[in-house]
């Protein structure tokens, strides 16, 4: 059920196995952005910043630096900047909660915003965090958000 029950040797064996697997390409796309992408970001970022400041900054901090160990940084976070925006969109829509463990039975989590934010607002806040604080992500469209809002979670 959890790594908390594994011995040190078992954890080491898992680590050796994982290191032997071929890596995935999660490179941040740093290609120049088209004028359409730039225009979309210019439209969404002000709304995204407003939402971030009112809904997200209390946990992730004003400049996206997070508040470790409970709230991860969003600035310079590779998972935020990946070519695919599925993970940050789903986190905003559905929230995320780490499983409880013996040492941390009630971990902090992120609440879902699917019921309180529209597709445009989710696209705006995700676009903001993907492009703020030196992040190099691309804007997210309302269409992408809507597709994930109605998609089943596996």
Phi, psi torsion values for 7, nearest 5 degrees = -80, 165
Tokens read off for 69:
């160990």
Q: Which domain, by its residues, includes 88?
A: 28-149
Is residue 22 included in any domain, yes or no? no
Label residue 15 by pLDDT band (50, 70, 90).
confident
Label residue 24 by pLDDT band (50, 70, 90).
low
CATH number of the domain enclosing 77: 1.10.760.10
**Cα–Cα distance for residue pair 72/99, rounded to 1 Å:** 16
Q: Give SS3 for 89.
A: helix
**Cα–Cα distance for residue pair 37/34, rounded to 1 Å:** 5
Tabulate helix, strand, coil % of the chain (nearest 5): 50, 5, 45
The number of folded domains in the chain is 1
Is residue 20 included in any domain, yes or no? no
In tens, the pLDDT along 48-95 reads 999 999 999 999 999 999 998 888 999 999 999 999 999 999 999 999
Is residue 11 included in any domain, yes or no? no
**In 5-51, alpha helices (H):** 8-20, 35-51
Is residue 61 included in any domain, yes or no? yes
Phi, psi torsion values for 35, nearest 5 degrees = -65, -30
Which of 64, 72, 55 is closest to 129 using CA atoms? 64
Kindly tell me if the per-residue pLDDT of 20 is higher than 90.
no
């Amino acid at each position: 059920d959890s790594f908390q029950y594994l011995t040190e040797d078992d954890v080491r064996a898992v680590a050796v196995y994982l290191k032997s697997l071929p890596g995935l390409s999660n490179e941040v796309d740093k290609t120049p952005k088209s004028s359409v992408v730039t225009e979309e970001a210019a439209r969404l970022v002000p709304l995204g910043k407003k939402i971030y400041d009112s809904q997200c900054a209390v946990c992730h901090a004003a400049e996206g630096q997070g508040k470790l160990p409970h709230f991860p940084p969003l600035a310079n976070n590779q998972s935020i900047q990946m070519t695919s925006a599925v993970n940050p969109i789903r986190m905003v829509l559905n929230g995320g909660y780490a499983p409880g463990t013996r040492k941390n039975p009630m971990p902090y989590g992120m609440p879902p915003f699917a019921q309180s934010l529209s597709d445009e607002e989710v696209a705006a806040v995700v676009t903001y965090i993907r492009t703020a604080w030196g992040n190099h992500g691309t804007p997210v469209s309302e269409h992408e958000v809507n597709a994930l809002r109605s998609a089943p979670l596996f």
